[in-house]
Amino acid sequence: MSPLSSLCRHLLISGRGDLYANSGRIPMRKVFSVNDISWQNLRGLPGARGFEYKALSDADYSSAFNAELVRLEPGDHSVPHIEPWSHLLYFLSGTGDVTINGETQPVATGTVCQISAGQKHSLRNLGNDDMIILTIYDPPRKRVN
């Protein structure tokens, strides 16, 4: 089994009953479709210019990490910022660039970015389609709604 397949299996299958996906407390089953989870709007978050997300896991599943799908529409971006958790970004679709500590690199489907806690970073969708990113936070990111 590939590392990504193993990760997805761990994200989607839990031996611990139902999970709750987001602030709306939508129950997630052991196996579920992300299509059944609503996008949560982050457009009012300082630094986010058009971000939306779907929570794939929460503290009921793991206290070691959490995972989200993040969507940026064409032209969306984040301003350079620093956060207290590490991010692993796996780009499922879209094209753009990521800047980490002043170094800018192109990103596209299949790109993986590792951003350590405390590193200044930003992200831009430079393409004509939505950018969808599987994002893993360590330690778990806590969203304030």
Structural domain includes residue 32: yes
Q: What secondary structure does DSSP assign to the chain, as a single string?
A: --HHHHHHHHHH--SSS-EE-STT--EE-SS--GGGSPPEE-TTSTTEEEEEEEE---TTT-SS-EEEEEEEEEEEEE-SB--SSEEEEEEEE-EEEEEETTEEEEEETT-EEEE-TT--EEEEE-SSS-EEEEEEEESPP----
Structural domain includes residue 104: yes
Domain count across the chain: 1
Structural domain includes residue 143: no
Structural domain includes residue 100: yes
Range of the domain at 31: 3-138
pLDDT digits (tens, 9 = 90+) for 5-24: 444 444 443 333 333 444 44
Structural domain includes residue 145: no
pLDDT digits (tens, 9 = 90+) for 50-102: 789 999 988 888 889 999 999 999 999 998 999 999 999 999 999 999 999 99
Domain harbouring 132, CATH code: 2.60.120.10
